[in-house]
Amino acid sequence: MDSHPCASDFHVSVASRRIKLDGAFDFTAEQWSEFVLALLGRMRSRLNNGKLFLGHIKASLEVDRGLIFGSTTGGAAAIKFSEAPIPKSSKALLKTALIAYKIDQGSLENCLLQALDETSQEYGLTYQVEQQEKEEEYL
């Protein structure tokens, strides 16, 4: 029996969400990218838990017309910026997706929401998770 706390007999699961973020002050592109890196790191740590993680964690953050994209497959997260400038803003739209092998969807969703809550508190952000119509919508 696998000792990973999230392990099950499931093969591949996906958890994705669209989230409105709101801060008490305007964030720079650098601050938003730090938020994305911190969020990805928390999700990765929760899923790795000393075991091999087979999957992909992605997050994109839209600020006005600019975009910050981050992803990891278990190692250090990579960040990319769109060509469009990213203005200072207190509001952003975050889209996340966790795709994992042998971790059930409920565990992925809990991981995502717990990491979001902790990271939002750390950065002084409030958030609203939007109602999801179908899983593929946010990938």
CATH code of residue 94: 3.30.70.360
Residue 106 falls inside a structural domain = yes
> What sign does the CA torsion over 62, 63, 69, 70 have?
negative
* Residue 75 included in any domain: yes
Task: Give residue-wise pLDDT tens across range 31-42.
Answer: 999 999 999 999
pLDDT digits (tens, 9 = 90+) for 64-111: 889 999 998 878 888 999 988 899 999 999 999 999 888 888 888 999
Domain that holds residue 112: 7-131
Strand locations in 1-139, DSSP E? 7-27, 55-63, 66-72, 78-81, 89-103, 125-129
Residue 51 has pLDDT above 50, yes or no: yes
Has residue 137 been placed in a domain?
A: no
How many C-beta atoms lie closer than 10 Å to residue 1's C-beta?
4
Number of domains in the chain: 1
Residues 1-25: pLDDT tens digits?
344 444 445 478 888 999 999 999 9
Residue 71 located in a structural domain: yes
The verdict on residue 2 lying in a domain is no
Within-domain flag for 138: no
Task: Say if 113 falls within a structural domain.
Answer: yes
Contact 86/32 with Cβ under 8 angstroms? yes
